[in-house]
Amino acid sequence: MATEQVRAQRRQQRILDAALRIFSKRGYRDTLVDEIAAASQTSTGGVYFHFPGKGTLFLALLDRTAARLREKIDEAIASQTDPIAKADAALQTVLRTFSKHRALARFFMVEALGAGNEFHQRVLEIHEDFIGIVRRHLDEAVEQGVIDPIDTEVAARAWFGALHEIVTHWALSRGPARLEDTYAALRPFLMRSVGAAEQPEWSGSRL
């Protein structure tokens, strides 16, 4: 019984991995379930067994990506004590994760928004969750006197918006610029935008 469950879980992950590759390349509308089945070495019926429809599969992949990213962010934040460093660590983690997986960045930042209205609410919820992480630590920085009082909601949305633009451009472009180099240039502006002391430089070699 346990062996069958393990096999089913592996098959499910195989389907999600294949779906990520194809959704990122072809987009939601042009992707066929048959393509995902072939890429995951699973029958079309097998795909539908785990995911009743293409929309269900897309949402499952979106949730898996968000959960994994949130786990990495929580781990990075836990190693910091300064509230500004925590907010900065959240952004750095997103960049480190996406810099290794262009397909993941394209899916999460581009295809998720363009997939259709039925997915917009979930995408909005994920964005709000991330913005909330940044805002909580900016609030903490204000409370501790690390930065002067500011509108932390606007600041958090501005930080997220800047990051979103950087990652989206990188995911869609074929230029030689490295994602981490782009953030290194953006980072001082983010710090100055909230009146924070410059944090230690981010080392791209840790990616």
pLDDT (tens digit per residue) in 120-131: 888 889 999 999
Stated pTM of the model: 0.83
Cα–Cα distance, 12 to 48 (Å, whole number): 11
pLDDT (tens digit per residue) in 144-190: 999 999 999 999 999 999 999 998 888 888 665 678 778 788 889 99
Q: Tell me which CATH homologous superfamily contains domain 59-198.
A: Tetracycline Repressor, domain 2 (1.10.357.10)
- The reported pLDDT for the residue numbered 175 is 61
- The residue extents of the domains of the chain are 59-198
- The reported pLDDT for the residue numbered 198 is 65
Cα–Cα distance, 68 to 55 (Å, whole number): 20
